[in-house]
Amino acid sequence: MVIRGGFARLCFQIASFAVRIGSMMVLARLLDPKDFGLVGMVTALTSVLDLFRDFGLSSAAIHNRNVTEDQSSTLFWINMLVGLTLSLLLMAVSPLIVGIYHEPQLRWVTIALASVFVINAAGIQHSVLLERQMRFTALAWMNMLCLVISTAVGITMAFRGFGYWALIGMTIANPIVSTTALWLMTRWIPGKPKSNVGMRSMMRFGGTVTLNGLVVYIAYNFEKVLLGRFWGAEAVGIYGRAYQLNSIPTDNLNSAVGSVAFRALCEVRDEPGRFRHTS
């Protein structure tokens, strides 16, 4: 099952690479570098907040051998609370982002992209459920569907002259399709949140994962914030496209192997012989 799931994820990543490169080429012809830069200025900051969207609780739920229904439901509502908090926080600091970059358009760009946190939060535990069941093939097909639909939305909006809003539409369409598909695939409806259901160890594990991700993100992305502050939207747009072309292959490979390997190793972590063989 692990090998089949890994193969499915690898096939998806190859197809994803082709779609992303193709869409980048089309959008680069339809939009100006400044359009990419305006969205890139905001996503450089929203990606930091994205590290806190589930506080590492999805990894904690996958890592735990046994997760009860009450724990899953409580995690769902924690995710929703965190997602709503991040959305409101981003909306509140939108004037500050405008002040940092001196780009008035960024206020509405920021407000629009803030909705992604709530939409993503609604599907996190449903995705965890599929990963715990090792339904990697289903996840791969779902991710491909999301990519194709969101790309079609972005290209269509760009053809119709929406400018940078085409990139925003593409960004928002992906989690909408993903969350909808996850609910339909799992058919799981969360219950009411409960206290004293053993969340402390998950919070501790999730906090460690989040802190590690934050350090790595700052190391690899802080230069985008500085570029936007001192050189403007066009410089961020050009740099962002070049950076994405360079990172897509490695990102695809890490994504294909990482999630499958993490779940597989969690299953055998208490069996040293099988763990060494699997790793």
- For residue 28, what are its two tokens? 């680069």
Domain extent at residue 255: 2-278
Q: In this model, does residue 1 exceed pLDDT 60?
A: no
pLDDT digits (tens, 9 = 90+) for 89-132: 899 988 988 888 888 888 999 999 999 999 999 998 898 888 87
Most confident of 27-31, 43-47, 273-277: 27-31
pTM listed for this prediction: 0.73
| Side chain identity at residue 221, one-letter code | N
Write the DSSP string, 68-91: -HHHHHHHHHHHHHHHHHHHHHHH
Q: Across residues 168-179, what is the average pLDDT?
A: 94
Per-residue pLDDT band at 135 (split at 50, 70, 90): confident
pLDDT digits (tens, 9 = 90+) for 192-227: 887 776 666 666 666 666 666 666 666 666 666 666
pLDDT digits (tens, 9 = 90+) for 234-260: 666 666 666 666 665 555 555 555 555
Per-residue pLDDT band at 14 (split at 50, 70, 90): confident
Per-residue pLDDT band at 181 (split at 50, 70, 90): very high
Per the structure, the count of domains in the chain is 1
